[in-house]
Structure 1
Amino acid sequence: MRKAVKSRLAFLIIAVICYSAGFYFLPEQLNSETDTILSAGFAIVYFLLLPILYWLLIIKAGNQKPWKMILIFSLSAGIARFSFAAQIADYFEFVMWLRIPIIGILLAIEFFLIAHVIKSLWQARKLKGDPRVHMINSINSDDDEKKQQLSITLSYEPASWYYCLPFLSRNHPRPVTHLKLLSRYPLHFICMLCGLTLVAGLAYMLIATISELVALIVASFISYSIISICANYRISRYHSVYFLDNNLVLNSSFLSIMVIPLLTIKTVDTGCWNKQELTESLILGRGKTANILLTFNHEISYFSMMGMLNEPFNKVYLSVEDPAALKQQIQDKINLG
């Protein structure tokens, strides 16, 4: 596992522990000096400790843009609104009202950006292939990183239906080979569906004691993930490695994608590389070894977490079922180009 991935998991675990502890330990009313000190301590955790950890473990370790720090501050403010005592939570209610005009100003400034993204998505509805690929190719500049991220994230909705329903993806390009993925097996798919059903049912039972309407909304929202689970299964099983518009597309899951222009591929090597010796390299596919290595002329973006994370790599290791066939087709297409 790469260091950046370990850092994300570490931050996620720490954040869940801190926020959960806040809901459990923070008093409902400030009735004593101890309650005030405890609230002040959690305020430091929410708005100082967690942002520092987010900067170190997400921004710096993952080479992300500094503006994404707003995510952790917004999350902490939202959690504080519902976990702190009423006397303090009222201040965060004011902050939540204050953010409305701020968001309005930001939306006005970037309205042209949203309009461009929606226009691109509308134009992409008639294109053949994964809508995410067309979004990545339509905005391919370092100066448009925010635009590209928003475009890819929005394209996940049409992409989920595109892959979930075989009718929509009936003209999908044929795969070259397949990544070795656990998610391509029917048993894994069935387990994911069962897990989703249990989570939705548990959420309904826990929330129904407070509000049956809210419980129904939350359970329905969770159940809607069945579209993404079906899309993930069909991508992993049928469309993990293929060519589209002079690009090599790699799908290790529905949440991640790598689109590699063929002309940027410098070398294609087959062999056997031990994954334990490649801890800081990008490796797609399961198994103890990788059997193909792609080296690029310049860094290629690997989008994960529905396009919210963008990591550049100058090479990628793959564990595929037929490395010789993939190598041959890449070389043939590059020579033809």
Structure 2
Amino acid sequence: MASSNFIDYIKFCARSGAGGPGSAHFRREKHVPKGGPDGGNGGRGGHIILRGNSQLWTLLHLKYQKHVIAGNGNPGEGGKRTGADGQDIVLDVPLGTVAREAESGNRLFEITEDGEERILLEGGRGGLGNDNFKTATNQAPRYAQPGEAGQEVWMILELKLLADVGLVGFPNAGKSTLLSVLSAAKPEIADYPFTTLTPNLGVVAYRDHRSFVMADIPGIIEGAAEGKGLGTRFLRHIERNSVLLFLIPSDASSIRNEYDILLNELKKHNPELLDKKRLLAISKSDLLDQELMEEMRNEIPSEINSVFISSITQFGLTELKDELWKMLQDK
């Protein structure tokens, strides 16, 4: 996924179609001087519909579509003929797409299954023809109902990546390097913070031709839940991961402190994230000898399993994959 092609947020104006007006028509035939009302109903306006598509990974195809307009319903006709419905607009989106109203921020729904269709904006109802208004005391109504107006709302679509394992850590913790070693993904890697500006996915090969998907989420900093750094823009991608892999480098000033900060940012963003399975990996362990590792184990939080790894020397990576696979199967 090239960074320029990965779009996980779009805002656009959606307008559903107006319903067609009902018909105020009377039956007129030879030898039928007083044919009754036979006006048909108007057709409904077109809906704006979202449809899940498992072949899509980004919202790029919708990036430049700033206005999405459905068709209006046709008017009713004589002979009790109902007007045609307005044309629906169906937008294919990746699985994990969340729809919300831009102005209020209200979350409408999330598309999670291939082929799943949800109405984003309903079209207006068609008006009733005069045939619906005839009664014993009003046998010739000369009026019909107008169609209901369509709706126009600014909408936001946000994508949450679906991966088995999500990498969580501060900028420059070695997440991209680990993903590049474990999978065929080729994220940008450099020795400065915020090298990764878009999430990267990689398929990690495991024993007996099995595999799982790992996501490199751009680095979190203290205050990310309030929008600092890259902020909440990428925290939402962590919500759909089955297991969270915390990555803290061995040269960190305090492993316990960094872990607590990361955990606190996840909690502030969404407390349900704390219910996910967690594993701690101490990266850059090629800098340590066995004695230093034993000393550092006393500083590691006791409530989480941990493993020492080095992406450069590939030390501990087999143990890491074994532990991740075991956690994924337990879930």
TM tier relative to shorter chain:
under 0.3
Which structure's residues are more often helix, by fraction? 1
Structure number with larger C-alpha Rg: 2
More strand by share: 2
**TM-score, reference length from structure 2:** 0.23
TM-score between the two structures when normalised by the length of structure 1: 0.23
